[in-house]
Amino acid sequence: SQQGEEDPQALSIQEGENATMNCSYKTSINNLQWYRQNSGRGLVHLILIRSNEREKHSGRLRVTLDTSKKSSSLLITASRAADTASYFCATADPGGSYIPTFGRGTSLIVHP
């Protein structure tokens, strides 16, 4: 089964800075989703971008998708300490079971 891979594995920044995380995947996708997880809790859906979309915004979040490079990026602008969490991308393969498969995540720490 395909799996997205996030990069970097860990990211440490100061409050007010922007945070960029990347996700690469292996095969064609139907859509790509980003989720956030606070320590030891469940995941929270952030944004879904379809394969025919190139960019999507939600508040301080901006997601881009480049299907030719099989990659996506998540940008969090003006980071806050409350953004400290792990961020995961999930892809659904239209040629497979459509089950969202997750990467190992990027651990983001925002220092106040």
Partner 1 sequence: KAGVTQTPRYLIKTRGQQVTLSCSPISGHRSVSWYQQTPGQGLQFLFEYFSETQRNKGNFPGRFSGRQFSNSRSEMNVSTLELGDSALYLCASSPSTGGNEKLFFGSGTQLSVL
* 40 to 69: interface string for partner 1, x by CB under 8 A: xxxxxx--x---------------------
- Nearer to partner 1 by C-beta: 26 or 45? 45
Q: Does the protein bind partner 1 through residue 32 (CB under 8 A)?
A: no
- Nearer to partner 1 by C-beta: 45 or 80? 45
E strand segments, 28-96: 31-37, 43-50, 55-58, 61-66, 71-76, 85-92
Q: Does the protein bind partner 1 through residue 21 (CB under 8 A)?
A: no
Q: Which helix (H) or strand (E) holds 25?
A: none
Q: Does the protein bind partner 1 through residue 10 (CB under 8 A)?
A: no
Q: Is residue 25 exposed (0-12), middle (13-18) or buried (19+ Cβ within 10 Å)?
A: buried
Please give the Cα distance from 60 to 46 (Å, whole number): 11
Interface contacts to partner 1, rule CB under 8 A: 1, 3, 30-31, 33, 35, 40-45, 48, 88, 90, 92-94, 97-105
